[in-house]
Amino acid sequence: MTFYPVVNYLVRISDGVVRPELATQWNSPDAKVWILKLRENVKFHNGKPFVADDVVSTFERIVDPKTKSPALGAFSSFLQPGGTQTVDDHTVRFELTRPVSDFLSTLTTYHAAIVPSNWSGDFQKEPWGTGPFKLTKYVPRQGAEYVRNENYWEPGLPYLDGLRLTYFDEFESQIAALHSGAVDVLSSVDANTVEAVKAGRSDIQIIARPSAWHSELAMRVDTPPFDDRRVRKAIALSFDREKIAKDLFGGLAEIGNDHPFGPFYSVSKYIKLPQRKQDIAQARKLLAEAGHPNGLDVELTTYRAYGLPEFGQVLQDMAKEAGIRVKLSVEPGDVWYTHWTTVPMGLQPWVHRPSYSAFVNLAYRCSTSWNQSHWCNPEFDELLTKLDATLEPEKQGEIANRMAEIMAEETPAIIAYWAYFVKAATSKVHGLVPESTDYLDLRQAWKAS
């Protein structure tokens, strides 16, 4: 998050709606070619005027495999080198390899911040953006300092004269710093730790926003016993989702229904699938039909982060009633990510993605390397391609609804909740914009004395 105060994106998402930032207008006749008009009279922190060539160089760098950009995975399935082109100084053209109706949302992917065309690629040496603050000091693993960008393009903003970011290794240290007044804002708080953050303090405000953050319980459909969808459904029916949202997240989560179109995405309002609820009798019946009349022993693997071990324990306890005996294996993160897509049953966090297309294409297409369940459904893939190419919201909804039905039938993964993204701040902080990510929008923030 060090670069957030320094940069801008082509667009921003507010209340689920794509809004102008460095791009002011856009149009697409077919969801494959996108023309964006760019804001004029904007300068980078190094004094260079912002023009279309900066957008082109930014995205060419992202999609070049040689740069190993963290954003490559979000764009590589539809944007190739040469696909971003300058039309004139303030117009840019994106020519995609396939239609992507949700393309604008992908432009807010956190590594897609716009940097100048003469940027070296070293942010520590050249922290150049067009954002409201300039980076003046950075010490790895310790913190960063900023001053107000006097030439920022939004009139009157930002309000603050400067910022200081402090990094912590332990969450307990973050809480102590907030409670003591050593820091004013925690940019990211796990929803299941909110009570610890508040700790009965009336001077701590919790700022929460619905998001697409969730944990996916994936079951490899090519590995016994999960190759039998009756087993997968039985496991899904053993969980009390309302209790998970209430007890584990203090109500700061929406109930999931085992499909990827969570409440954050506007297309979710078209999903007509009945909510899956805990049904122990049906779970036991399905297990018996699958040849497990005496229950089932399974191992659930995850790692120590984001409250995953605690969530795993909740699932372990709930599954017992259905005769599903879960052995919970919690690994260090560096071990988990050496084999997370190969474990038979794994609990993996998925951070917020502004575009459902980015998530679904990564997690559920037959060919993707991040398909943790190893599930492949040709009809689902065809529908996903069609969904990406469809611009009309109601038609998108019809397609997404059928995709949700397929996932309910097959149950390759369980999505029990969609967590809110939470920030915490002292009562002296005002104007902090709620976000669905750890993006820290401090343009309008100010602090009372």
ω into residue 260 within 30 of 0, thus cis? no
Cα distance between the two ends of the chain:
26
Q: How far is CA 229 from CA 21, 155, 223, 242, 317, in A?
A: 46, 57, 11, 23, 22
Pairing of strands 33-38, 143-148: unpaired
DSSP calls for 283-302:
HHHHHHHTT-TT-EEEEEEE
pLDDT digits (tens, 9 = 90+) for 46-65: 999 999 999 999 999 999 99
Instruction: Give the type of residue at 199.
Output: A
* Strand 17-20 versus strand 345-350 pairing type: unpaired
Fold of 210-420: Dipeptide-binding Protein; domain 3 (3.10.105)
Return the percentage of the chain with pLDDT > 90, whole number: 80
Amino acid at 422: V
Domain boundaries 1-167, corresponding CATH code: 3.40.190.10
Rg of the chain over Cα atoms, rounded to whole angstroms, equals 23
What residues contact residue 168 under an 8 Å CB cut-off, 6+ apart?
174, 177
pLDDT bucket at 44, cuts 50 / 70 / 90: very high
Task: Please give the single-letter amino acid code of residue 174.
Answer: Q
Specify the DSSP class assigned to residue 83.
-
Specify whether the CB–CB gap between 360 and 260 falls below 8 A: yes
Tell whether the model's pLDDT for residue 338 goes beyond 90. Answer: yes
What percent of the chain shows pLDDT beyond 70?
Answer: 100
Please provide the average confidence, as pLDDT, over all residues in the chain: 94
Can you tell me the distance from the alpha carbon of 21 to that of 112, in angstroms, rounded to the nearest whole number? 13
Q: Please, which residues have CB within 8 angstroms of residue 103's CB and are 6 or more apart in sequence? A: 28, 31, 34, 78, 94, 96, 355
> Tens of pLDDT along 367-392?
888 999 999 999 999 999 999 999 99
- Mean pLDDT, residues 336-354 taken together: 94
Is the confidence at residue 124, as pLDDT, over 90?
no
SS3 category, 444:
coil
Question: Are 355 and 13 a contacting pair, CB within 8 Å?
Answer: no
Domain ranges of the chain: 1-167, 210-420
pLDDT tens by residue, 157-177: 999 999 999 999 888 899 999
Q: What is the DSSP letter of 246?
A: I
Is residue 432 a contact partner of residue 185, using CB atoms and an 8 Å limit? yes
Distance, in Å, from the CA atom of 19 to the CA atom of 101, rounded to the nearest integer, reads 16
What pLDDT does residue 282 have? 98
SS3 assignment, position 1 = coil
Q: Which DSSP helix (H) or strand (E) runs through 316?
A: helix 308-320
pLDDT at 70: 82
Q: What is the DSSP letter of 152?
A: -
**pLDDT tens digits for range 417-435:** 999 999 999 999 999 988 8
pLDDT of amino acid 157: 97
Looking at residue 109, what is its pLDDT?
86
pLDDT at 116: 97
Tokens of 291: 């040849």
103-117, 293-307, 316-330, 427-441: segment of lowest average pLDDT = 427-441
Written as six digits, the tokens of 50 are: 């912002």
Q: Which residues contact 372 (CB under 8 A, 6 or more apart)?
A: 216, 218, 220, 340, 341, 346, 348, 363, 413
Mean pLDDT, residues 223-238: 98
